[in-house]
Amino acid sequence: MSKPERQLALNLFIYPGGHHEAAWRYRESEPRRVLDISYYQELARRAEAAKFDAIFFADGPSLPENVRYSSRVRFEPVTWLTAIAAVTSRIGLIGTASTTYNEPYNLARLFASLDHISNGRAGWNIVTTSDAGAAQNFGLPEHPPHGDRYDKAREFLDVVTKLWDSWEDDALVADPASGVFADGDKVHRIDHVGKHYRVRGPLNVSRSPQGRPVYVQAGSSEDGRSFAARHAEAIFTAHQTLASAQAFYADIKTRAGALGRRPEHIRILPGISPFIGSTQAEADRLEEEIDALIQPAASLEQLKRMLGVDLSGYDLDGPFPRHVIDRQGPNGVASRFQLVMDIVDREAPTLRGLIKRLAGARGHWVLAGTPDRIADAIQTWFESGAADGFNVMPPWLTGGFDIFVAEVVPILRKRGLFRAEYAGTTLRDHYGLPRPESGYAVARRRSA
């Protein structure tokens, strides 16, 4: 088979213990290793050996309330990724950091440092944070509204971009003979004064190998889509159906094109959480075995965060109480709220049925099947205008990932859909993204 022009992008999305809510209870899981860095280093090395584009680590600046029943402790992402960088050489390193609960200068310095340490493999997953419980951890009386968070995020990204551009590529001279360490004319104060931030700059880290880390975004609300179309270079998204994924894909690419961007420079990567068996029956039994470990109290707490309503007093085996959901409330604009309500409207599940669906991967696509069925589904979405690749979300770790690499990846390679070797060294190389030039260098050239 001739090699197609497009190649799948595959990330390993690492969630402590696995993506199923009850994964930590599964007999093959290792829940006591969630704070053992060697556990994650082993996973990263396996993903790199399989030639995955990146590993991705999600994060939030607060401890969810359902920690009694769920594995929720985790490392701070940049610290964690730096430890991963030390034992890998090619795989991309994507970490989450909030624009609501960070300062631009510190975040710019952290990710620029990671990009240097990893020789150009850093990516920043830009989030505004949906968890209202984070506010009290940062001295705020309440969590900012959705629209306000995105307004702040736009300025935050503007500041961080200026800081990452503040050193031109050739500003660092380091010439002992002349005594010149840096060309001061090519190191720029940004002197940003805006609605939310006042930042002088320049950054105290020179321009990083990728020019700047890859911009990743995960929101699918109206604000999130607008932000992603303008700024994101990779988008992590959740869809339950091919039609939904196709509509999102077309919308983002169209919006980006209208803004003067090249749509092919945006990688759209839905999540897929596969239960894999040698037969369909075996895959179904595996899913049922892990589903049986669900603790409804934990799942109802997760549902409360998504919908903004406590449903713990309702009959789990009765119809979903749709009448108590406020579509016009503050949660109604969130993409995950819409995804959950779409499931309710499309499938009319019981409350127990819904929490079972969401326990699998928090609203991402859960699919049980043979390796060929999983590969077929990935190929269909990839070739039908629904995805440029996927975030692979193993239901449990490490076995759920090992099976995917051993059984599904070879099929994708045989079909010419996924690389056998890396073609470059940076995350931008893996995604096929250009290296941006410093905005200050562009302005210098235009004024010359």
List, in order of start, the domains of the chain with CATH numbers. 9-281+365-447 (3.20.20.30)
224-275 pLDDT, tens per residue? 899 999 999 999 999 999 999 999 999 999 999 999 999 999 999 999 999 9
Note the pLDDT tens digit of each residue in 26-58. Answer: 999 999 999 999 999 999 999 999 999 999 998
Residues 6+ positions from 19 with CB-CB distance below 8 Å:
13, 273, 360, 361, 362, 364, 393, 394, 395
Rg (the chain; Cα; Å): 22
| pLDDT over threshold 90, residue 17 | no
Is 59 marked as a binding-site residue?
A: yes
Identify the burial level of 192 via C-beta atoms within 10 angstroms of its C-beta, where 0-12 means exposed, 13-18 middle and 19 or more buried: middle
Residue 40 labelled as part of a binding site:
no
* Alpha carbon distance 180, 177 (integer Å): 8
Query: What whole-number percentage of the chain has pLDDT above 70?
Result: 97
Sign of the C-alpha dihedral computed for residues 67, 72, 74 and 76 taken in this order? negative
Entry pTM: 0.93
Average pLDDT over residues 150-177: 97
Measured CA angle at 163 (ends 44, 171), to 5 deg: 95
Would the pLDDT of 81 be above 90? yes
Provide mean pLDDT across the span 62-75: 80
Q: Find out whether 220 is annotated in a ligand binding site.
A: yes
β partners of residue 97: 126
Looking at mean pLDDT, say which of 262-266, 319-323, 347-351 comes out highest: 262-266
Q: Element (H or E) spanning 374, and its range?
A: helix 371-383
Cβ neighbour number for residue 221 with a 10 Å cutoff: 20
For the chain, the 3-state helix, strand and coil shares in percent, each to the nearest 5, are 45, 15, 40
**In which element (H, E) is residue 293 found?**
none
- Region 177-204: mean pLDDT is 97
DSSP per-residue letters across 102-132: S-HHHHHHHHHHHHHHTTS-EEEEEE----G
65: left (phi over 0), alpha (psi -120 to 50) or beta: alpha
pLDDT of residue 111: 98
pLDDT in tens, 352-372: 889 888 888 888 999 999 999
Check residue 313 and give its pLDDT.
Answer: 87
Question: Cα(93)–Cα(85) distance, rounded to whole angstroms?
Answer: 8
Mean pLDDT, the chain, integer? 93
* Residues in a beta bridge with 274: 367
CA of 384: how far to CAs of 6, 207, 242, 402, in Å? 13, 38, 8, 27
CA 279 remoteness from chain centre: 31
Q: Please name every residue paired with 55 in a beta bridge, in sequence order, or none if there are none.
A: 12, 93
Phi, psi of 146, deg, nearest 5: -50, -50
Nearest CA-CA partner of 233 in 427, 440, 17, 38: 427
Q: pLDDT band for 2, please (50, 70, 90 cuts).
A: very low
Least confident of 119-128, 131-140, 267-276: 131-140
96 is in an annotated binding site: yes
**For residues 84 and 52, what is the distance between their CA atoms, to the nearest angstrom?**
14
Confirm or deny that 146 is annotated as ligand binding: yes
Predicted confidence (pLDDT) at residue 3 exceeds the cutoff of 50 = no
